[in-house]
Amino acid sequence: MASLHSCLLTGMIVGLGAAATAQGPQYGLGRTPSQMEIHHLDIAISPEGKELPPGSGTAAQGAAVYAMRGCGSCHGPTQMEGPGPKLVEREITPMSNHYPIRFWTYATNIWDYINRAMPYDRPGLLTANEVYSLTAFLLYRNEIIQEKDVLDNKTLPKIQMPHRDLYVPHPSGWKPGTPWPVVLKP
């Protein structure tokens, strides 16, 4: 009888614990985001640039945006001083606190980063044209494109970055746009 009693007691404790866990504390904060809100946040740009919006820009326009938006307050007037990361740097040195733009694998990654994270204190403020212009300006300053080249959603993905051949694909064979493989250890 004691064994039956302990089994019943154990079953009740497990059942009540599961019910309590399923309920969880309710704090009255937050809500489930709408599909539109999720779509608005899903702004990643692939190396192929299929997600790039319409717009365009040149290095000259980018120089004007750089000055107008105050980018020099973090990256300096020549893009080679701080306090933020240097934007024009020819090699990785022991003093580098980031990968210089010349070492980025895809030009679309530069556009994506500027679009998502700049300006540092107001990310997402820039228009698509401003992002194309700043990307063109930085690629020109790093001697990757010509000053008069126009960047847009067709030309940007075609830019061959100087150190692209050093890129080593993920050993699982994963490619952008596919789900990340789940590897379970035995």
Which helix (H) or strand (E) segment is 40 a member of? helix 35-41
Does pLDDT of 22 surpass 60?
no
Helices (H) and strands (E) in the chain, counts: 6, 2
Closest CA relative to residue 63, chosen from 52, 53, 78: 78
- Best-predicted range by mean pLDDT among 13-27, 30-44, 95-109, 125-139? 125-139
DSSP state at residue 74 = H
Structure tokens at 30: 């937050």
Residue-wise pLDDT tens digits, 65-114: 999 999 999 999 998 887 888 899 877 665 556 678 888 889 999 999 99
Structure tokens at 135: 């990307």
Least confident span in 13-22, 41-50, 95-104: 13-22
Nearest-10 crossing angle of helices 107-117, 128-141:
130
Q: State the pLDDT at residue 174.
A: 63
Can you tell me the mean pLDDT for 37-62?
Answer: 87
- The pTM for the full model equals 0.70
- Give the residue with greater pLDDT, 70 vs 20: 70
Does pLDDT of 186 surpass 80?
no
pLDDT band at residue 21 using 50, 70 and 90 as cut-offs: low
Q: Which residues pair with 56 in a beta bridge?
A: 152
Q: 57-165: what CATH class?
A: mainly alpha
The CA distance from 63 to 59, in Å, is 6
How is the chain split into domains, by residue range?
Answer: 57-165
Q: State the pLDDT at residue 120.
A: 87
The CA distance from 105 to 167, in Å, is 7
Q: State the pLDDT at residue 10.
A: 64
106-138 burial by CB neighbour count: b if 16+ within 10 A, else e? bbbbbbbebbeebeeeeeeebebbbbbbbbbbb
Main-chain phi, psi angles of 57, to 5 degrees? -170, 160
Handedness of CA 82, 88, 91, 92 (dihedral sign): positive
- The one-letter code for the residue type at 18 is A
Establish whether the linkage from the previous residue to 83 is cis, with ω within 30° of 0.
yes
Can you tell me the mean pLDDT for 1-26?
Answer: 59
Structure tokens at 17: 């614990």
Residue-wise pLDDT tens digits, 125-173: 999 999 999 999 999 999 999 999 999 999 999 999 988 777 766 666 6
The CA distance from 111 to 158, in Å, is 13
